């Protein structure tokens, strides 16, 4: 039986409607796959950010820096993660004793919008860099004081004390060390910034603390105590600039 014009048009419209439905379903599937792929890439990127910090904890500074550089080139980091990666790259360089590189990396961080914890960490690391160079000591003191005033944590007291001593303020240096020792049982730490919260590397901080306590006792002519703390600093489970400098000092007083 011959189809009417109306029936033919209805069939054509039906076929077209089915085609549109198929196209929409395919588009939806593609969009869903793309969304899942992008989510997976972001999750993988964040995991790699935390892995770089784990490498830093383990004292594997070159692999940590290499991974961070890959992440920075990848273009998938959020602004917060970019700041975190640059900070931890600078931290790795600091621990290696590459102070100029660490300062240059810190200068790359856009602090606008950074949370208080990260700004404090950056200030503390910059102060530590300047202190180890024994250059621009007034700027180092300003950074270290800013770090301590923002956090009220005691982990910067010993480095600040050493800075005050180098600036000729011996009485304040001794007072800061005494404050540190009095707070030993309720001490909080600020070493690594993970964006919105902070994690402490206690083994590294023990090395840091012993290094500056050794300096305190050395300048007070208490050689036995100085040797004890410098020796403790050299026993750090991972290599770092403070352990290496403690070894050098022990060679001069042993």
pLDDT digits (tens), the chain, 254 positions: 444 555 454 454 455 555 556 565 556 655 555 455 455 556 566 778 888 888 998 889 999 999 999 999 887 788 888 999 999 999 999 999 999 999 999 999 988 888 888 888 899 999 999 999 988 999 999 999 988 777 666 668 899 999 999 999 999 999 999 988 887 655 544 444 444 334 457 888 889 999 999 999 999 999 999 999 999 999 998 889 999 999 999 999 86
Domain span at residue 76? 39-113
The answer to the question of residue 159 being in a domain is no
Gap between the Cα atoms of 13 and 75, Å rounded: 46
In a domain, 69, yes or no: yes
CA distances from 250 to 75, 83, 217, 218 (A): 46, 37, 13, 11
> The domain that contains 65 carries what CATH number?
1.25.40
Residue 226 lies in a domain: no
115 φ, ψ (degrees, to nearest 5) = -75, 165
CA contacts within 13 A on the Cβ side of 189 = 16
**What is the three-class DSSP state of 198?**
strand
Give yes or no for a contact between 225 and 216, defined as CB atoms under 8 angstroms apart. no
Q: Look at residue 76 and tell me if it is in a domain.
A: yes
Q: CA 14 from chain center: how many Å? A: 61
What residue spans of 108-201 are helical by DSSP H?
Answer: 116-133, 137-151, 157-166, 170-182
Q: Which of 188, 97, 107 is nearest to 147 (CA)?
A: 188
Number of domains present in the structure of the chain: 1
* Two tokens, residue 162: 């050493």
Q: What is the pLDDT of residue 149?
A: 78
Its pTM stands at 0.78
Say if 66 falls within a structural domain.
yes
Task: Please state, in angstroms and rounded to a whole number, the distance separating the CA atoms of residues 159 and 240.
Answer: 16
pLDDT at 146: 87
| Distance, CA of 70 to CA of 93 (rounded, Å) | 16
Residue 97: inside a domain: yes
Residue 61 lies in a domain: yes
Q: Is residue 28 part of a domain?
A: no
Q: How many angstroms separate the CA atoms of 222 and 152, rounded?
A: 29
């Amino acid at each position: 039986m011959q189809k009417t014009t109306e029936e033919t048009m209805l069939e054509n419209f039906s076929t077209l409607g089915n085609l549109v439905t198929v196209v929409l379903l395919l588009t939806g599937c593609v969009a869903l796959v793309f969304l899942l792929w992008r989510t997976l890439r972001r999750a993988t990127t964040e995991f790699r950010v935390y892995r770089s910090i784990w490498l830093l904890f383990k004292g594997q500074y070159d692999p940590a820096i290499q991974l961070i550089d890959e992440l920075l080139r990848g273009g998938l980091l959020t602004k917060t993660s970019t700041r975190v990666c640059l900070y931890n790259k600078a931290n790795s360089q600091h621990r290696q004793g590459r102070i100029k590189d660490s300062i240059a990396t810190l200068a790359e961080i856009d602090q606008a919008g950074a949370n208080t914890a990260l700004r404090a960490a950056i200030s503390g690391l910059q102060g530590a860099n300047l202190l180890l160079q024994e250059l621009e000591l007034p700027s180092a003191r300003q950074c270290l004081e800013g770090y301590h005033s923002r956090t009220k944590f005691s982990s910067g007291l010993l480095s600040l004390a050493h800075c005050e001593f180098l600036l000729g303020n011996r009485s304040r240096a001794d007072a800061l060390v005494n404050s540190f020792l009095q707070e030993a049982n309720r001490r909080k730490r600020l070493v690594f910034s993970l964006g919105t919260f902070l994690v402490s590397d206690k083994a590294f901080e023990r090395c840091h603390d012993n290094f500056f306590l050794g300096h305190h006792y050395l300048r007070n002519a208490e050689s036995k105590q100085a040797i004890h703390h410098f020796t403790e600093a050299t026993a750090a489970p991972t290599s770092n600039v403070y352990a290496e400098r403690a070894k050098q000092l022990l060679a001069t007083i042993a």
